[in-house]
Amino acid sequence: MTTPANQNTGCLSFLLNLFKPDDSKSNSPEFLSYQVRDDFLTPAEFSFYRTLSFVAGTHVTICPKVRLADILFVSRPKDRLASFNRIAQRHVDFLVCDAASMKPLIALELDDSSHDRPARQVRDEFMDKAFLAAGLPLLRIPAQRSYSQQAIAAQLAPFLRDQAQPTIKSAPAEANKNSETQLAPLCPKCGVPMVARVAVKGRHQGEQFYGCPNYPQCRAVQFAESQAPAASLENG
């Protein structure tokens, strides 16, 4: 005999099964909305990466965007969970490792204008202390449109004493000329190198302009000829 309680349970089970997502569909490739990023590194990060690779040599390996939890570990068991959670979702911009053993040698952070915000300064202070406690150097470098090979080599040298010292490689004059003409202006709001684009509508249609890589959070643009900042792409 079916009781009211059994009937209610049966109805509830039916409704749950009715609205339960079909895992076989949601996990199939055509239902997963993932795409490969075109910009794994920001323009400022890529510019620094090229300079760093140029001067560091073959005795080290440069790893971009490394999670702190893959570099550091918690040594005291009683603090493990709380301390791990503080580093699990954070990363450093670059990690320089010994090429033969992959032992971390120094971490590098590019500091743009976002590091001036109070919340970011608290985060940076924690990272500085965490690396100091672990005994791994953390070097902070201001984000720029371009980087001096001599300056980067001089900053790295004290931390790479057991490796071949960073060297300055001479580049062909024509290559230097081309790299200078391709330098993008800095975003007036974010302080990072802008990205060259072409306007597809408005009175500047067809013209080249520079847009902030942090779009849509930042909509600052500069047109190539005048270099005068505009409020946003939509206003172009």
Whether 220 and 188 have beta carbons less than 8 Å apart is answered as yes
- Is 90 in the same domain as 133? yes
- pTM of the shown model: 0.60
User: Is 235 a domain residue?
Assistant: no
User: Is 20 a domain residue?
Assistant: no
Residue 69 DSSP label: G
Position 30 scores a pLDDT of 78
Contact residues for 217 (Cβ-Cβ < 8 A; gap 6+): none
Position 56 scores a pLDDT of 86
- Is 126 in the same domain as 219? no
- Is 195 in the same domain as 154? no
User: Is 118 a domain residue?
Assistant: yes
User: Is 1 a domain residue?
Assistant: no
Position 228 scores a pLDDT of 45
User: Is 35 a domain residue?
Assistant: no
- Domain boundaries, position 136: 43-159
User: Is 34 a domain residue?
Assistant: no
**CA 149 from centre of chain:** 21
Domain count, the chain: 2
- Is 49 in the same domain as 152? yes
- Is 91 in the same domain as 189? no
- Is 188 in the same domain as 96? no
pLDDT digits (tens), the chain, 236 positions: 555 555 555 666 665 565 565 566 677 777 888 888 888 888 889 889 999 998 888 889 999 999 999 999 999 888 889 999 999 999 999 999 999 999 999 999 999 888 889 999 999 999 999 999 999 999 999 988 888 888 999 998 888 876 655 555 554 444 444 443 346 677 777 666 778 888 777 777 778 888 877 777 778 888 765 444 444 444 44
Position 224 scores a pLDDT of 62
- Is 142 in the same domain as 195? no
Q: Which helix (H) or strand (E) holds 13?
A: helix 4-19
- Is 92 in the same domain as 192? no
3-state secondary structure of 175: helix
User: Is 15 a domain residue?
Assistant: no
User: Is 134 a domain residue?
Assistant: yes
- Is 131 in the same domain as 53? yes
- Is 197 in the same domain as 129? no
Position 187 scores a pLDDT of 75
